[in-house]
Amino acid sequence: MSSTQPSTQPQPVPAPGEARVIAALEGVGVQRYTTGQIILDAVDWSVRSGEHWALLGANGAGKTTILRLVGALMFPTVGSVEVLGHRLGSVDVRELRAVIGLVSGAQKVPQDATGHTVVLTGATGTVQPLWRKYDEATRERAHELLAELDCKELAERPFGVCSGGQRARILIARALMADPRLLLLDEPFNALDLPSREDLIDALHRLALARPELATVTVTHHLEELSPSIGHALLLREGRVQARGPVDEALTGERMTACFGRPIEVSRHEGRWLARSGKR
């Protein structure tokens, strides 16, 4: 599929009080060419500025595939994907990726690089630092982002000796170096212990409050990992949308039961969620 430079046509200006569409999937399907397996089927979904979404579903439901689509890392087999006002297939995805924040455990990071150096690489979108590209303002911004994620003490600590929760916050700071309007988090709580999980939840909640225009999409397996700032949820089952919308409508016991195929009870207390399997 050919790539072109991003369109220079002016984008529609939202009406006062109307949130801008950041990402939109329409009739999207993804099929694995080698086996014919349907990964996603007829997915319609949109994310607006300032919205914070959770993507939930069993393993293999298609969560990471959706994240890769809105991260401009792959193309749909059918349907359309628009991100930041540009339709995939008519934009240079390299330029689009540069302004989308992505945090994933699969990211390659030099283990001996300090926390500050890892954050700096977010300015160039590289694995290794390009020292000549970083002026004093860029270096100071990296320090500010570490402070914003409440981990400024990690600036000189090698990434490889940081805990899982510390690494996650460093990678989020790195993703914010490009000042993205969309931040994608692929299972950021994976393998974290309870204190580290809570620290990361608090950091993401503060981030949402401090950046009202930022949209986030978080892939997770557990409702307990959702911060109070998560206001919307998309539930997937075998590549199809099971539910989507405000969390109070999507994260019900009935819909979670249908999504995961077993009885699930859902409760909420002071903005935090709890899900457990009920008796059959």
Domain range for 92 is 21-100+180-277
Q: Are strands 272-277 and 215-219 parallel, antiparallel or unpaired?
A: unpaired
Two structure tokens written together for 17? 């009080």
At residue 15, the pLDDT reads 46
What number of residues does the chain have?
A: 280
We report the CATH number of the domain holding residue 184 as 3.40.50.300
Structural domain includes residue 218: yes
Structural domain includes residue 242: yes
> For residue 174, is it left (φ>0), alpha (ψ between -120 and 50) or beta?
alpha
> Which stretches of the chain score pLDDT less than 50?
1-17
Structural domain includes residue 48: yes
Two structure tokens written together for 71? 């991260």
At residue 271, the pLDDT reads 87
Structural domain includes residue 84: yes
Structural domain includes residue 158: no
How many domains does one find in the chain?
A: 1
At residue 6, the pLDDT reads 38
10 Å CB burial of residue 195 (0-12, 13-18, 19+) is exposed
At residue 16, the pLDDT reads 45
Structural domain includes residue 203: yes
Structural domain includes residue 154: no
Structural domain includes residue 14: no
